[in-house]
Amino acid sequence: MSAELPHLASPSPLSPPLPAVLAPIMRVTLQQLADDQRDMPVDVLNCRVAAAPPVRSLRQALTSPGPRLKLIAEFKPRSPSRGWLRQDADPKAFAVAYQRAAAVSVLCDRVHFGGGPELLQVFRSLAAQPLLAKGFFVDPYQLAQVRALGADAALLIARLLPGPRLAQMLGHCRDLGLEALVEVHNQPELEQAVLADAAVIGVNARDLDTLAIDLQGCRQLLAQVPAGRVAVAESGLETRQEVDRLRDWASAGHVNAVLIGTALMTAADPQAAVAELGFA
Does 12 map to a domain?
A: no
The mean pLDDT value for 242-268 works out to: 93
Catalytic site residue 4?
A: no
Summary mean pLDDT of the chain:
90
Task: State the CATH number of the domain containing residue 177.
Answer: 3.20.20.70
Q: Which of 74, 179, 189, 238 is catalytic?
A: 74
Render pLDDT for 77-92 as a digit per residue (tens, 0 to 9).
998 878 899 989 999 9
Position 8 scores a pLDDT of: 46
Does 180 map to a domain?
A: yes
Q: Tell me the residue ranges of DSSP E strands in 23-178.
A: 70-75, 78-79, 83-84, 103-107, 131-134, 153-157
Which letter, b or e, does each residue of 50-60 get, where b requires 16 or more Cβ atoms within 10 Å of its Cβ? eebeebbebbe
Position 45 scores a pLDDT of: 96
Does 70 map to a domain?
A: yes
| Cβ-Cβ contacts under 8 Å for 176 (sequence gap 6 or more) | 1, 49, 140, 143, 144, 147
| Cβ-Cβ contacts under 8 Å for 228 (sequence gap 6 or more) | none
Choice between 10 and 166, residue whose per-residue pLDDT is larger: 166
Residue-number span of the structural domain to which 122 is assigned: 23-279
**DSSP code at position 13:** T
Catalytic site residue 92?
A: no
Does 8 map to a domain?
A: no
Torsion sign across C-alpha atoms 97, 103, 146, 138: negative
Q: Give me the numbers of helices (H) and strands (E) for the chain, helices first please.
A: 12, 10
Position 15 scores a pLDDT of: 53
Domain count, the chain: 1
Q: Which of 70, 79, 179, 183 is catalytic?
A: 183
Q: Which of 70, 79, 105, 134 is catalytic?
A: 134
Q: Which of 79, 105, 204, 256 is catalytic?
A: 204
Render pLDDT for 110-159 as a digit per residue (tens, 0 to 9).
898 989 999 999 999 999 999 999 999 999 999 999 999 999 999 999 99
pTM of the model: 0.92
Catalytic site residue 256?
A: no
Catalytic site residue 204?
A: yes
Contact 125, 95 (CB under 8 A): no
Does 11 map to a domain?
A: no
Position 141 scores a pLDDT of: 96
The mean pLDDT value for 213-234 works out to: 90
Does 4 map to a domain?
A: no
Does 16 map to a domain?
A: no
d(CA 184, CA 95): 27
Catalytic site residue 234?
A: yes
Q: Which of 70, 79, 189, 235 is catalytic?
A: 235
* Residue 156: strand pairing partners: 182
Does 1 map to a domain?
A: no
Q: Which of 70, 79, 189, 234 is catalytic?
A: 234
Report the residue count for the chain: 280
| Cβ-Cβ contacts under 8 Å for 117 (sequence gap 6 or more) | 108, 133, 135, 145, 146, 149
pLDDT of 51 > 70? The answer is: yes
Render pLDDT for 210-221 as a digit per residue (tens, 0 to 9).
777 778 888 889
Strand 78-79 and strand 83-84: pairing?
antiparallel
Confidence of residue 97 (pLDDT cuts 50, 70, 90): very high
d(CA 106, CA 133): 5
